[in-house]
Structure 1
Amino acid sequence: MRKIVLLGSTGSIGTQTLDVVRNYRDDLKIVALAANHNVELIEKQIREFKPSKVAMYSSKAAEELRVKIADLGIPVYEGMDGLIELVKSEEADTVLTAVVGMIGIRPTIEAIKAKKDIALANKETLVCAGHIIMPLAKEYGVSILPVDSEHSAIFQSLNGEPRKSVEKILLTASGGTFRGKTTKELENVSVEDALKNPNWDMGAKVTIDSASLVNKGLEVIEAKWLFGVDVENIQVVIQPQSILHSAVQFVDGAIIGQFGVPDMKLPIQYALFYPDRRPMPEERLDLFKLGSIIFEKPNTDVFKGLPLAINAAKIGGSMPTVFNAANEMAVKRFVKGEIKFLDIYSMIDKAMQHHVKIDNPSVEEILAVEKETYSFLLS
């Protein structure tokens, strides 16, 4: 039985992970749950899955949850210390990190040191700290199993193949809500417009990042660390049907890819059962109904999030942290109606031009750079 600590249980990935666990209660067990502040939902999850311990990142939410589940006798931890307490659980063998933001870095490091396998759905962990995480996982003999759909597809396509035979990674993207739009057409788009992803059911932040192609830029940086390839050997391909989830081209010209319906439960289940595959009671891809498949080049003149991310990856060091932090700040302001959609790119570019790179930053330096980027953009 795989025993799982789930960080971020009330978010999109977290709730879909619990759907997978429901389908395999004899093979998967939730031993710990953590969320930020959604007390109502996590209480329902606790009563259904009966974890040994739980944590809330918000101290106020932790106090409220303690009252609500007092009858269960389950300890409720809080803050960063609470997340770290959960990932060190002796009964757990896998930690699925689906929290959003920099708070995912420290628990992942501590989980690796506790020799837990990592099912990774937190982008910041590798975008900002890949130079720390990947060597640490190798040192402790821990597997990093990607939960992101595209990285899972690459992982599956590489299975059994020597890494030296890889020519390039073909990282697919749906193109987001605004695929095919011109810069002029994007000048006055609304938040509601940006949240209409054609294929995927994701949280608001990821959906907006998909619309700007920032999300794909973050995935390029992740792929660099996950698969040990240079950014120059990662090619982003727009595949608007979201049927080919990504592929690998090898030195002999062969391309191996992973096809399927756009459903996040597939990569989640694959990560939790790896190296096994289990039946999944979901819709199947019908090639006859599909009929044809479309591929396009990304328009990097309009969707500048992608080239900005690639530039941050090439510069390296602390620059990807600046890229990520500036985007987070910009998306928050866009959602509040304080800036326009295209201003997201301007804010990222401004922050990157201002920053002086730190080589091989420590976790403390990464967190400091994030704060400095926020302060600079608010000044």
Structure 2
Amino acid sequence: MNSRTIVILGSTGSIGTQALELIGRNRDRFRVLAISAGGDNVGLLAQQALEFEVEVVGVSKATVAQDLQLAFYAEAQRRGYAQGEFRIPKILTGPDASTELAGMPCDVVLNGITGSVGLRPTLAALDAGNTLALANKESLVVGGPLVTRRVKPGQIVPVDSEHSAIAQCLRGGSADEVRKLLLTASGGPFLGRERKELENVTVEQALAHPNFAMGPVVTINSATLVNKGLELIEAHLLFGIPMDRVDVVVHPQQAVHSMVEFHDGSTLAQVSPPTMVLPIALGLGWPDRIPDASPPWDWAKASTWEFLPLDGEAFPAVQLAREAGTRGGTAPAVFNAANEVCVEAFRDGRLPFLGIVDTVARIVTEHDVPSYEELSIDDVLAADAWARARARELTATGNDQGQETTQA
């Protein structure tokens, strides 16, 4: 495998930091050209930039440009560099910084940004002809045909553990032999609870994921199973399998990351310990595997695996996502945007846990999906903005648990 040039978007987040740790152990295989982040941790961003001698650093908060430059000098001093012994990378600032980096000539763009703001960088990477290692599921869910009509065969390599697992299993058979895709879900911290037992869930409880350490939005999405709903839509779009042939099964141990059932009755599963390092490695190296990227499952130890049906009454997010994905158009964008605002309202104490999906369902139902000859990015962004505004209206302080007050 020849050395690959890499651009990492969201380098200070969970995906980005793990990717850089992996690259640090495999410097003969990868060279980091550019990194970007939101700007909340300029110290770490400067440390990464100097460690990997990147050419360009992007930061979406333009106001932190001076802080970032000072962080470069502080990091250089910490490393004992004398004046002139290190090169300050070029700095790009503003909301389009990651999009500019995604369009740089390189081998792989790893999109580890969280949320629908990852859409423009995803499109830029594809338009530039770069391979896209996609951890930002929202950009595919929100963009839908905007993304799928641009992508060339094999240009997107999924980094979500579930979709990486499916991609690996599909090496064992052709697309026309597939009967069903089976996404596994841990069930989150509230597995086995009935709906009424979730009424008083706290933010702290929702952030206690049993297996993975992730950002707060993704972790809460895992607790509501909105994350699994987004993954269902993503699987449909990534692999071209109809929505009604993508199912979710609860697997608390998360040893099996997903499965593919073929029409002859055979099912292939991908097994590894619950870590994101393996799908990140595959995203950067695909179709090659990186030796010792992750420890394998320890077969010398006894273990028991469970597979359980999803409780759709307690966790209606998956069915809601299925309905939004089936409607198509801007419905998935509305689902995602409304959820992002509702998660924020829950974290701020303005919405109860069950109110997250209930409010999203209300907004998705209210949204009238127009008939588009060809969906445009303006259509998607308009629907996104409407859903956010409506969600803020429904979750405004003073409304009863996120519901509108009624004037007498």
Shorter-chain TM range is over 0.9
Asked whether 1:126 is paired with 2:129, we answer no
**Aligned twin of 1:73:** 88
Residue 222 of structure 1 pairs with residue 234 of structure 2:
yes
Q: Quick check: 1:115–1:142 contact (8 Å CA) kept in 2?
A: no
SS in structure 1 opposite 2:350?
coil
Counterpart Cα distance in 1 of 2:254 and 2:369: 36
Q: Give 1:142 shift.
A: 5.8
**Greater alpha carbon shift after TM alignment, 355-364 vs 100-109:** 355-364
Partner of 1:331: 343
Contact 1:112 1:142 in 2 (8 A): no
The one of 360, 376, 384 aligned to 1:362: 376
* CA drift at 1:85: 2.3
**Do structure 1's residue 55 and structure 2's residue 67 form an aligned pair?**
no
Residues in 1 aligned to 2:101 and 2:331: alpha-carbon distance in whole angstroms: 31
Q: Match of 1:150, SS? A: helix
Partners of 2:333 and 2:17 in 1: CA distance: 27
Is the contact made by 2:164 and 2:279 (CA closer than 8 Å) also made in structure 1?
yes
Which has the larger Rg? Answer: 2
C-alpha spacing 1:362/1:289, structure 2 compared with 1 (3 Å):
same
Alignment correspondent of 2:113: 99
- The structure with the largest helix share of the pair is 1
Alignment partner of 2:200 out of 162, 176, 188: 188
Give the partner amino acid of 2:25: N
User: C-alpha displacement at 1:33, in angstroms?
Assistant: 0.4
What's the CA shift string for 1:148-194, capped at 9, x where partnerless?
Answer: 00000000000152100000001100000111111121000100001
Instruction: Give the TM-score normalised by structure 1.
Output: 0.96
Cα drift, residue 103 of structure 1:
1.7
Equivalences for residues 199-238 of structure 1 within 5 A: 199-238=211-250
Match of 1:162 in 2: 174
Counterpart position of 2:276: 264
Cα distance in structure 1, aligned partners of 2:138 and 2:89: 30
2:21 maps to what in 1?
Answer: 19
CA contact (8 A) 1:171 1:247 kept: yes
Q: Which amino acid aligns with 2:146?
A: I
Name the SS for the 1:46 alignment partner: helix
In the alignment, structure 1 residue 116 sits paired with structure 2 residue 116: no
Tell me the CA shift for residue 253 of structure 1.
0.5
CA contact (8 A) 1:2 1:93 kept: yes
1:30 paired residue among 20, 29, 32: 32
Contact in 1 for aligned 2:335/2:360 (Cα 8 Å): yes
Of 176-185 and 239-248, the range deviating more from structure 2:
176-185
Check whether the contact 1:334–1:344 (CA below 8 A) recurs between aligned residues: yes
Gaps of 5+ in 1: none
Give 1:279's match in structure 2, choosing from 291, 296, 306.
291
What residue ranges of structure 2 are gaps of 5+ in the alignment? Answer: 74-85, 394-408
* Other-structure match for 2:45: 42
Equivalent position amino acid for 2:24 in 1: R
Could you say which residue in structure 2 is the equivalent of 1:2? 4
What is the DSSP-based 3-state SS (H/G/I as helix, E as strand, rest coil) of the residue aligned with 2:289?
coil
Q: CA shift at 1:247, angstroms? A: 0.6
Q: Secondary structure at the match of 2:301?
A: helix
What is the CA RMSD across the aligned residues, in angstroms? 1.4
| Distance of 1:279 and 1:93 partners within structure 2 | 20
Alignment partners' CA distance in 2, 1:186 and 1:336: 18
Give the 5 Å matches for 1:126-145: 126-138=140-152, 143-145=155-157
Quick check: 1:118–1:142 contact (8 Å CA) kept in 2?
no
- Quote the sequence identity (%): 41
SS at match of 1:242: coil
One-letter code aligned to 2:253: Q
Measured after TM superposition, the shift of residue 290 of structure 1 is 4.1
Name the structure 2 match of 1:304: 316
Q: Measure, in 2, the Cα distance between the counterparts of 1:125 and 1:352.
A: 18
Q: Distance in 2 between matches of 1:206 and 1:118?
A: 20
CA displacement at 1:288 relative to structure 2: 4.2
Q: Are the aligned partners of 2:203 and 2:346 in contact in 1 as well (CA < 8 Å)?
A: yes
- The number of aligned residues is 376
Give the whole-Å Cα distance in 1 for the aligned partners of 2:128 and 2:200.
49
